[in-house]
Structures are given as structure tokens and as C-alpha cells.
Amino acid sequence: MAAQTEKLSDPGRAWAAYEPGGDRPWNLALAGHLYRRAAFGASWDQLKQALWDGPQRTVDKLLRPEGDIEEFNRAHDDYEAATGSIEQLQAWWLRRMIQSPHPLAEKMTLFWHGHFATNAEKVKNARLMQQHVGLLRAQALGSFRILLHGIIKDPAVLLWLGAEANRKAQPNDDLARALMETFTLGPENCTDGDIKAASRALTGWFVLRGKLRYIAREHDNGEKQILGRKGNFSRDDVTRIILEEPATSRRLVQRLYRWLISETAEPDEALICPLAEAFAKDYDVLKLVETMLRSNLFFSAAAYRRRVKSPVDFALGIVKALETTVSTTQLANDLADLGQNLYHPPTVNGWIGGRHWINSAAIVGRDNLAWAMLRGSDPYGKKLNPWAVAQRHGCSTFESASRFVLDLLLQGDVDPSICDKLIQTAQEGDMEVRMRRFTHAAVTLPEFHLA
């Protein structure tokens, strides 16, 4: 195991910043680990720079990258605003993930897309879906408080939940139920009575011609009891009350733990508690993510390759490593076939993820997608060229290029005997063909499916 194996049951030790030492060195494996979790993989230059910078400086750059992020966002926002279909939005988002100077922001936008799962199939409006994902991106590493306030008045969310008309005489439970059971507290921390009272507090809000409208006469001004509090509550009161509940911050920390640390085992309550208490004070997502990414726990064996890559992570890990881009329109379609159809989370709970990403059919699909991307013909063409990348980084033989590719893609997590076997499977054809076959074999190894 490349990561350090120290047992981290003490919260103070677990969440303290990782400092490399003789028995806990900063190495290529941990640099790759960081880029898999906080981005969509890395190029060789990024990995080398990370080795030079060290873990904390590399985390600094991922959290607060240098360069004109606002200019990049403006350019992409303009393109996305001009699109007329969900298919175009999917392609532009994938392109953004590949090219963004702030990949952590896109990674966290994807996290919130699964958390506030809103499906374009029911919304039926590309402009509203573009605005929805824009809202997620704006607060992806910002304030969960602001994000939650925005979500409950987002026309796309209301249309997806069937809550576009909330009349005093017929309060709609769908938004309140999703808000309390899925987005924040969890079903075990609220009752049907709480949900019905919250629904009454949310009355008066409608989506009319794609815009949110408030009709005062349709708001229920009566007293309501929500989570033990009584009053003539309105929409903003509902979010305030929910955010005051310890269960909200605790549940969000648990979800982010699964996203950034490990999905193989539930964390001890003692580990979650200090982060949840700190998060509840200001709901600052960046601060929470920063604590996790800098921590001893993040760089420990308990976190190393303890997540299954989603189809997006799997495909973009190949693209980022090979230093170019591909047709993201084609890629969006292929990712949908693998179960991750952007802008179309399957349920209000988003994608299940985990082992569901690597059932027998999915593994065959990933193998096929990887070969389609790497074989050097339609539909992806010759843009991804492992031999050309290896040459740029000083390789001149098949053996040196193959070992370079394994370091690039897997950071040394392959037994030398496996490397030798892979080399033997790619003995025919010219150098470019051989490297395409070898790289395909590498990305279908079990280790590459794990983040």
C-alpha cells in the first residue's frame, strides 16, 4: 500500500494536516490520489509539479487556483447560455471539466448535482437546467446556506419535484419532503407532521412560464409547528430551522466524507462530530473540503482507492492523463450508456454509485469505451495518443513508454509482473498501435477503476 497505514481513530490526529515524514512520505501515489479525488485526474506535468510542491501547496492550488477563473467561467457561461438543448449542455459541461483551471469546483458541482438530483426529462427546459447547474457551481465551494436558499426557489427543482404550484388549500408536500428527507436532515430526523407543516410554510410559490412567482393570497399565514418550533413560518424560516438542526450538518459531512474520503465503511461518529459542529457554525463548504483534503486521514490507507470511479471519473481520467480533449458530445452519449447521464440523475437520491458502477455489464461497457477512445479511429479519432505523450516526456522505446504510462495512469500501483504481462500482450504493430493496446490494457486493470 502506497499510503501510510497508521490507524487514525483519534479525531484530532485524523483531521490534522498531513506532514510527510520518513515513514509517511509524499510520493507519486499520493499525488495521484489527491488529483483523483479533488479533480478528474492529472497530466504528467501536474503530477511532477505536485511532487515538487508537496501536499499542502498542491492542495492550496486545487482550492484556490492561480489564473483568471472568472474569465474562464464567463466564456463557458456564454457558450452554455446560447445552447438550445440538454445534449449541448452535457457536452459543454464535460468540456468544462476537462479544461477548467479550477477542477475541484467542477468536481464539487458534480457532487451537488447528485445531491440535489434534478432531472431534465421532467423539467423540459434547457435554459432552466443551465441555470440550475450554474447555481450549483456558484456555491459548489461556497455557502451551503446560500445554496439551500437558492435550491428551494429554483424553478428547475420545483418542476422536477412536481411542486410548481403550491396553493394554500392544497399544500404540496413534494418539495418539503425532498428538502427535509433528502437534501438535509434525513428521513429519520423529521416526521410527516414536520413535512406537512413545512409544506404550508412554502405555499404561495409558483413556477409560471419558467419563472418563480409569489402569490400572497395563496400563502398559509396560520401557525405551524416545524421540528419543535411554533410560529407563522414562511419559506426562509423553513431553511433557517433546518440549518439549525445538528442532523443537517452531520448528514452533509457524512456525504462529503463518502465523496472525498471513503465509501467503503461508515465513519465513526467521533470522526464526524468535530467537522459537523464546525460546519454548522457557518456552512462554509470550502472550509470543510479543505479540512478533509489536507488531513492525515485523507492521505492514509483508510482513504486510498476507497472509492469506485464514476463513469465520468473513469473517462476523464484517461483524457486528462493524455493531455488533450475529445468529442464531448460523443462522450456524453457514451457516459449515459454507462449509467451517468449528466442532467438526468435517475432519482431524487441521485446516482447510487459505489459497486453499482462496476457490475459485470458496466465493466464490459467501460472496456468498450476505453478502446473506442484509444484505438485511433472513429468516433474519437486519433486525439488520444499515448505514444506521442510518452515521447514528449522523454520515452524512446516501447518498454520505457509502457512503464511511463503505468506511472502516469496508476502511479506505481501495479506489480512488475503485471507490467511485464501487459507488455507481452502488445507486441504486434507499429509503436503507436502497440502503445494504444497497452494503454487500453492498463485502464482496464482493477486499480484504474478505483479513485
pLDDT tens-digit readout, 272-281: 999 999 999 9
Judge whether 432 and 385 are in contact, CB under 8 Å: yes
Indicate if 298 and 170 belong to the same structural domain. yes
Answer whether residue 16 is part of any domain. Answer: no
pLDDT of residue 7: 60
Whether residue 357 lies inside any domain: the answer is: yes
Residues 318 and 293 in one domain: no
How many domains does the chain fold into? 3
What pLDDT sits at residue 6? 54
Please give the single-letter amino acid code of residue 240.
Answer: R
Q: Which of 236, 368, 356 has its CA nearest to residue 307?
A: 356
Are residue 158 and residue 282 in the same domain, yes or no? yes
Report yes or no on 350 lying in a domain: yes
Same domain, 334 and 410: yes
For 388-417, how does the pLDDT look when each residue is reduced to its tens digit (9 = 90+)? 999 999 999 999 999 999 999 999 888 888
Whole-number CA gyration radius for the chain: 23
- Average pLDDT on 89-94 reads 96
Assessment of whether the complete model's pTM goes beyond 0.75: yes
pLDDT in tens, 103-117: 999 999 999 999 999
Among 264, 281, 304, where does a domain finish?
A: 304
Q: Convert the pLDDT of each residue in 363-387 to its tens digit.
A: 999 999 999 999 999 999 999 999 9
Q: Does some domain include residue 346?
A: yes
- 298 and 375, same domain (yes or no): no
* Structural domain boundaries, residue 58: 26-63
Claim to verify: residue 281 and residue 222 sit in the same structural domain: yes
Look at residue 422 in the predicted model and tell me its pLDDT.
Answer: 83
Q: Are 147 and 213 in contact (CB under 8 A)?
A: no
Domain boundary among 258, 281, 304: 304
Kindly indicate the confidence band of residue 46, based on its pLDDT and cuts at 50, 70 and 90: very high
Asked if residue 96 belongs to a domain, the reply is: no
* Domain contains 240: yes
Is 321 found in the same domain as 278?
A: no
Q: Is 209 within the bounds of a domain?
A: yes
Q: How far is CA 42 from CA 29, 172, 411, in A?
A: 12, 46, 11
Same domain flag for 184 and 332 = no
Q: State whether 300 and 329 are in the same domain.
A: no
Q: Residue 372: what pLDDT? A: 97
**Same structural domain, 147 and 272:** yes
Show which of 39, 63, 87 is a domain's final residue.
63
Unique residue bearing C-alpha cell 440523475: 345
Residue 104 maps to a domain: no
**Coil, helix or strand at residue 80:** helix
Position 68 scores a pLDDT of 82
- pLDDT at 136 exceeding the cut of 70: yes
| Contact (Cβ atoms closer than 8 angstroms) between residue 94 and residue 100 | no
Helix 55-63 × helix 44-53 angle, to 10°: 120
274/81: higher pLDDT: 274
Q: Does one domain contain both 339 and 381? A: yes
Clarify whether residues 299 and 354 are in a common domain: no
